[in-house]
A and B are shown apart, each in its own frame.
Chain A
Amino acid sequence: GEDVEQSLFLSVREGDSSVINCTYTDSSSTYLYWYKQEPGAGLQLLTYIFSNMDMKQDQRLTVLLNKKDKHLSLRIADTQTGDSAIYFCAERSNSGYALNFGKGTSLLVTP
Chain B
Amino acid sequence: DTGVSQDPRHKITKRGQNVTFRCDPISEHNRLYWYRQTLGQGPEFLTYFQNEAQLEKSRLLSDRFSAERPKGSFSTLEIQRTEQGDSAMYLCASSFIRGYEQYFGPGTRLTVT
Interface residue ranges, A against B (CB under 8 Å): 4, 31, 35, 40-45, 48, 88, 90, 92, 96-104
One of B66-74, B77-85, B98-106 contacting the partner: B98-106
Query: Counting CB contacts under 8 A, is B56 at the interface?
Result: yes
- Give complex CA distance A73, B100 in Å: 19
Tell me whether A48 and B101 are in contact (CB under 8 A).
yes
Q: A48-B101, A99-B43, A103-B42 are in contact. Are A42 and B48 (CB under 8 A)?
A: no
* Contacting pair B33 A42 (CB below 8 A): no
Looking at the complex, which one of B6, B40, B41, B48 makes contact with A97 (CB distance below 8 Å)? B48
Query: How many residues of B are counted as interface, with CB atoms below 8 angstroms from the partner's CB atoms?
Result: 26
Which residues of chain A come closer than 8 Å to B102, judged between CB atoms?
45, 99
CB within 8 Å of A: which residues of B? 4, 6, 31, 33, 35, 40-45, 48, 56, 58, 91, 93, 95, 100-107, 109
B91 and A96 within 8 A (CB): no
Q: How far is the CB of A81 from chain B (nearest CB, A)?
A: 22
A41 to B105, CA, bound (A): 8
Residue of A45, A96, A99 most packed against chain B (CB within 10 A): A99
Taken together as a complex, chains A and B put the C-alpha atoms of A99 and B43 apart, in Å, by: 9
Nearest CB to that of B58 among chain A residues? A98
Chain A nearest Cβ from B105, distance in angstroms? 5
